[in-house]
Amino acid sequence: MPNADALPLPSPTLTAVLFGLSGCLVDFGAQTHRAPKRAHSHATPGALEALGNLKHQGIPCAWLDELPGDVSQQLAAALPPWIQPTIANPTQWPAPDACWQALMALNVTRLDGCVLVSGEPRLLQSGLNAGLWTIGLASCGSLCGLAPAEWQALSQQERELKRGRATMQLFGLGVHSVIDHLGELSTCLADIGLRRQKGEKP
C-alpha cells in the first residue's frame, strides 16, 4: 500500500471566477469601448469552452463591465444565460468595490480562491485591490485593441510584438499570470491551484 504522505495533495478548488466582459469573454480587442453603438456579440477564442469547463466543475462565475447596461446586455447575448452579470457599481475601477459586489452576488463568503480574468488594466487593478488572483489577457484586450480581422491581418512578427508589449504592461501592473486568450485558461487556473497548494497568496 502506498504511503499516504507521499501522495501529492489535490490542488485547492477555486472559489469563484470573475471575468471582464468586453475584451475578455466577448468583443475581441475591446472595440465597443471606442464605438458603443457598434457593439457586436461574438465570444472570444476559448471563451465558451472555458465557461463550460467551470460550470462542469461547479465553480460560480460572473462578468463585469463599465459599459452602459443596454450595451453590456447586447454583448453578453453570445454567452450562456447562467453566467451572472454584475450591476454597474457607482464606484469606478480601479476601486475594489465592483469585484466584491460581484462575489457577494454569487454568495461567495471568502476571497480565498477567487480569480479575476480580464484584458482591461483598470479592472485588473480593481481585482488586485480587492485581493483576488488576477489573470491578464494579452491579445484580445484593450492593450492590443484590434478587431479580429485587424489582428489576423498582422504578420506573425507584428502579432508577437504587440502581444509582448501587452504582456509586459500587464505584468507591470502586478497581475499573477498573463495568457494570450481564454483558450489557455484551464492550464493557467491549474497553475494557480499549484501555487495556492504551495501556500502562495495573491
- DSSP label at residue 18: E
Helix, strand, coil percentages in the chain from 3-state DSSP, rounded to 5: 45, 15, 45
DSSP class per residue in 112-154: TTEEEEES-HHHHHHHHHHT-EEEEESSSSTTT---HHHHHHS
Task: Please say whether the beta carbons of 108 and 60 come within 8 A.
Answer: yes
Per-residue pLDDT, averaged over 11-26, amounts to 90
Average pLDDT value for the chain: 89
Specify if 112 maps to a domain: yes
The total number of structural domains that make up the chain: 1
* CATH number, position 187: 3.40.50.1000
* pLDDT confidence of residue 22: 94
Specify if 170 maps to a domain: yes
In the predicted model, is pLDDT for residue 2 greater than 80?
no
Q: Tens digit of pLDDT for each residue in 149-168?
A: 999 999 999 999 999 999 99
Strand partners of residue 22: 26
Percent of the chain with pLDDT over 70: 90
* pLDDT confidence of residue 113: 95
Dihedral, CA of residue 197, residue 200, residue 201 and residue 202, to nearest 10 = -110
* pLDDT confidence of residue 172: 97
Specify if 93 maps to a domain: yes
Specify if 160 maps to a domain: yes
* pLDDT confidence of residue 69: 85
Specify if 67 maps to a domain: yes
Specify if 117 maps to a domain: yes
* pLDDT confidence of residue 39: 65
Specify if 119 maps to a domain: yes
* pLDDT confidence of residue 35: 73
Per-residue pLDDT, averaged over 16-43, amounts to 86
Dihedral, CA of residue 72, residue 54, residue 167 and residue 125, to nearest 10 = 60
With CA atoms as reference, report the closest residue to 24 among 128, 115, 157, 150: 115
Task: Please say whether the beta carbons of 111 and 80 come within 8 A.
Answer: no
Task: Tell me the C-alpha distance between 27 and 184, whole Å.
Answer: 18
Quick one: 73 exposed, middle or buried, by C-beta within 10 A (0-12, 13-18, 19+)? middle
Specify if 111 maps to a domain: yes
Domain extent at residue 87: 16-24+42-197
In the predicted model, is pLDDT for residue 4 greater than 70?
no
Question: In sequence order, which residues have a C-beta less than 8 Å from that of residue 138 and are 6 or more positions away?
Answer: 119, 144, 163, 166, 167, 170, 178, 179, 180
Per-residue pLDDT, averaged over 180-202, amounts to 93
Q: Tens digit of pLDDT for each residue in 90-115?
A: 678 999 999 999 999 999 989 999 99
Percent of the chain with pLDDT over 90: 77
